[in-house]
Structure 1
Amino acid sequence: MWDALWLNGHLATMEGEAGYGIVEDGAIGVADGRIAWIGRRADLPGAAETLAARVHDAGRAWITPGLIDCHTHLVHGGDRSREFALRLKGASYEEIARAGGGIVSTVAATRAASADELLESALRRLSFLRAEGVTTVEIKSGYGLETKTEIRMLEAAGRVAAESGLRVRRSFLGAHAVPPEFKDDPDRYIDLVCEEMIPEIARRGLADAVDAFGETIAFSPEQVARVFEAAAAHGLPVKLHADQLSDQRGAALAARFDALSADHLEYTSADGVAAMAAAGSVAVLLPGAFYFLRETQAPPVAAFREAGVPMAVATDCNPGSAPVSSLLATMNMASVLFRLTPEEALAGTTRNAARALGLAGECGRLAVGLAADLALWSVGHPDELAHRLGFNPCVGVAIGGRRIR
C-alpha cells in the first residue's frame, strides 16, 4: 500500500526535453517519500481507498514538481538599499563596488552578524520562496571572505534546511570578491581560499559545490582556475558567476572544468555557448539582476536554445544587485526580458534547475523514483505561472510526499 495518493488534479510532469509533459486528470502514488506511480486516474490499478493510507484531493489544481531556486545568496547580514538610490542617480555597479560598496559592504555586516541572526534573516527571505511552491533552494556563502565567517554562513545554510524542511544545497563562494585586507594582493587571498578554506570546508562536509565570480571587479580566469583545481582536488563540483558585466570567457572556463552551471552569461560568446553545450553545463539565467542593474545586453538565449544548452532560471536573491524573493516574478522576467517561453521558464525552475544543482536524479520532475516534491496551483493552465505578475496561485506544497501547506 502507498503512503499517499494524490487525485483530482492535472499534472505538468516536466518529463522529456521540452514542454510540460501534461497528464490531464492525473494521479500520483507516493511511498517512502518518492513517487511510486504516476499516470491518468483512469489507469489506477485499483480503487483509491485500497491503494493508499491517505488520499489527497487536489481540487482540480495543476500539480507541478516543487519549484527549485538554484542560485541564491539568502544568508547575509545588512542592507544595501542605499546603493539602489545611487544607481538611479547614475552610479554603475562597478563604480559602487570600487568605491567600497557592493559585496564588500555586505561582508562587513555579515562578519558582524551572529549565527542566529544570519539564520533568522535567511528564514524570513526563504518564507517568500516557500510560499510560492519552492521546495529546493541553493544557498551560497561569499559574504565572509575569511574562513570563520564563510564557515558560519555555510553552517547557517545547513540550519536553514533543518528549520524549514526544504532541500538545501550549499555552495562555497569564497572567491566572490577581494576582501579589504587583501585589496593589494588578491593572489594571496586566492592562496587562502585554495589552501585553507576549501580543504577545511570539504573536511567538514559543509558544501555541495564551489562557486566563484569571474569578472574584472572580482577574479581573473587564472585565479578562478586555481580555485576550481582546488575544488576538484577535494571532490567538489564547480559553478561560476560568468560573463555578467563583460566577456571574460567565463562560460568556456566553467565548461573546461565540467561545471554544473555557469550563471548570468549576458556577455557569453559563441565559443562559450559551444563549450557549455559540449560539457553539458547548465546556463542559469538571472533576470532579476539584469532588471535591477538596468542592463541592456541579454544572455544569448537563442544560441543556447539552438545549441541544446539547458537553461535554468533563478532569483539570485541577494542584498544588492537582485533583492528578489519571488521565483514566480523571476519566471515572468525571464519570459519578458529574455524571451523564454512559459514552458522554458517552468523547465528552468524545475528539471533544469535540478540539473544545475546536480539533482537531476532526485527532483525537478514528476517521475517514478524521484522525490515526491509537489506544488499545487489554482490556475487554468501552466502558462499562467510565467504570464501573470504579482500574484501567487500556489494552494499547496508537499515535500517527500508530506504536505507542508
Structure 2
Amino acid sequence: MTPRWDGLVVGASLATLDGDGYGAIDDGAIAWKNGLIAFVGPRADLPGSPSALAAQVIEATGWITPGLVDCHTHAVFAGDRASEFEMRLEGARYEDIARAGGGILSTVRAVRAADEDALYAQSRPRIEALRRDGVTTLEIKSGYGLDFDNERKMLRVARRFASPALDVRTTYLAAHALPPEFAGRADAYIDAAIDWLPRLHAEGLVDAVDAFCEGIGFSPAQTRRLFERARSLGLPVKLHADQLSDLDGASLAAEFDGLSADHVEHTSEAGVRAMAAAGTVAVLLPGAFHVLRETRLPPIDAFRAHGVPMAIATDCNPGTSPLLSLRQAMQLACTHFRLTPEQALRGATQHAARALGLHDRGVLRTGLRADLAVWDIRHPAELCYWLGGDLLSRAVVAGHPAYTRHVIHPSET
C-alpha cells in the first residue's frame, strides 16, 4: 500500500503559531506530502499507525516550530570591519566613520576586489551559520557593489546559496551608498541604479527593491524615483527607514505598498498609521541597535496599538550587525525592545515571511509549506532565553531534509 504521506514527525510538542499564543500541541504529529503540510495535530489523532501512514517516520523530542525566516540580511560580502567596532568603542560615530571613507564604502572596495567564487567562499560560513541555527528562508541584499557588474555579482552569488535546504530571496539595494566615482552626484547615481534594475530583473536576479533613505544615504525624492521604476516592473519594495532620523521613510514605504519598513527607530506616529493602513511590516533589527549602542527605541507600543506586524531579522552585515544567529536577534528583541518570547518567535517566522511577501510559510498549518525546525528545548521561550548554544536538532524545508545534527557517540571520540 502506498503511504499517504512523504514524511511524518511524531512525539515532540508543536508550537504551531496558528491562532493566539504559541498554538501549542503536546505529543504532536506533523506530516507532509509533496512539500506541503498534510497533517498537524496530536499524535493520538493520527488516522492509523505512523509506520503505515508515511514513507519516513521520525521520532522526536523537544519542540517543533515553523522554520525561521531571516527577512533582512547583507550576508554576502567580502572582508570585515572589526576595526570600526574598535573605533566606535573609542567614541567615533557611525556617521563619522562613513564620512571618513569607512563604513559601507570600505566593504564596497572589498567586494569589488573579489571575484564571484571568492565572494561565495567568504560568504558561505555566514550562510551556513544562519542555516544551522534554524533559518529555512533567507533574504540577501546587494548594495556593496554600487556599479552594474558588482551588484550583478552579488545577486548572482546570493542566488547560488538557494538549494532544497534553504530558500533564498534576493533584494536589489544599489541605493545603499554613493560610490566614490559619483561623489557629489547622487541624482546621477540614482539614474544609473534605475537603469541597472530592469537589466538585472530580466536575468531573474531580483525579488524586491530596497534603499537606504537617510541623511547619509539617499533622500526621499531619490528613493521615490527608484521605487517608481520598481513598481513599473511589478517588483515589491522595502526600505531602510528612519534608522538615524525621521525622514518619513516609513510613510514613503507605505505609499508604495511596501512589504516592510526596516529599522524604524525614529518612525513617527503618522508613519506608523501609514504602515498600518498599507499592511507594511515593521522589521526590527536589534543587532544593529545593540552594536551601535542606540538608545532611541522603535515605537513598539504604537505598532502594537495600530496592529502593525513586527518582524525580527539579523541584519547580518560587516559593519553594524555582525550577527550570525536569528535566535540571538530574537533574544535581543526581547531584552532591548521588551517583546515577549512568543512575539519574538512569531516575528522570526510568520511576520518575517510576510515581510518578504510570502504567505505560504511561518505557521504550522495544513496546506502551507512544510518548513519546520525541531529544537532540543523544553519550552519555546528557551529559543529566546539561551544566549547561544546548539539547540537545533533537525530542519525540514518544503518537505526536504535540510539539517540533521550529528551526535557524537563515545565510539567516535
Tell me by how many angstroms 1:392 deviates.
Answer: 2.7
Match of 2:8 in 1: 5
Counterparts of 1:242-281 in structure 2 under 5 Å?
242-281=241-280
Please state whether the residue corresponding to 1:178 is helix, strand or coil. coil
Tell me by how many angstroms 1:24 deviates.
Answer: 1.1
Match of 2:321 in 1: 322
Match of 1:386 in 2: 384
Counterpart residue type for residue 6 of structure 1: V
Superposition TM-score, scaled by structure 2 size: 0.95
Aligned counterpart in structure 1 of residue 43 of structure 2, from 30, 35, 41? 41
CA distance in 1, matches of 2:143, 2:165: 23
Unaligned runs of 5+ in 2: 405-413
Match of 1:56 in 2: 58
Q: Deviations over 1:198-246 (max 9, x none)?
A: 1111111101100000000000000000010010011100000000000
CA distance in 1, matches of 2:51, 2:383: 32
1:212 partnered with 2:208: no
CA distance in 1, matches of 2:200, 2:16: 36
1:67 partnered with 2:68: yes
Counterpart residue type for residue 76 of structure 1: F
Counterparts of 1:3-402 in structure 2 under 5 Å?
3-16=6-19, 18-58=20-60, 60-162=61-163, 165-194=165-194, 196-360=195-359, 362-402=360-400
Please state whether the residue corresponding to 1:161 is helix, strand or coil. coil
CA distance in 1, matches of 2:58, 2:91: 54
Tell me by how many angstroms 1:401 deviates.
Answer: 2.0
Deviating runs (4+, > 3 A) in structure 1?
A: none
Tell me by how many angstroms 1:104 deviates.
Answer: 0.8
Q: Deviations over 1:68-118 (max 9, x none)?
A: 111000111121111111111111000100111100111111011110111
- 2:165–2:396 Cα contact (<8 Å) kept: no
Tell me by how many angstroms 1:165 deviates.
Answer: 2.8
Counterpart residue type for residue 309 of structure 1: V
Tell me by how many angstroms 1:358 deviates.
Answer: 0.8
CA distance in 2, matches of 1:259, 1:131: 30
- 1:239–1:260 Cα contact (<8 Å) kept: yes
Tell me by how many angstroms 1:402 deviates.
Answer: 2.4
Q: How much identity, in percent, do the aligned residues show?
A: 57
Please state whether the residue corresponding to 2:64 is helix, strand or coil. strand
CA distance in 1, matches of 2:31, 2:392: 21
Please state whether the residue corresponding to 1:19 is helix, strand or coil. coil
Match of 2:407 in 1: none
- 2:141–2:172 Cα contact (<8 Å) kept: yes
CA distance in 2, matches of 1:392, 1:232: 42
Q: Over the residues paired in the alignment, what is the CA RMSD in angstroms? A: 1.0
- 1:264–1:284 Cα contact (<8 Å) kept: yes
User: Which deviates more, 68-77 or 43-52?
Assistant: 43-52
CA distance in 2, matches of 1:392, 1:21: 24
Please state whether the residue corresponding to 2:216 is helix, strand or coil. coil
Please state whether the residue corresponding to 2:40 is helix, strand or coil. strand
Q: Deviations over 1:227-285 (max 9, x none)?
A: 10010011100000000000110001000000000000000000000000000000000
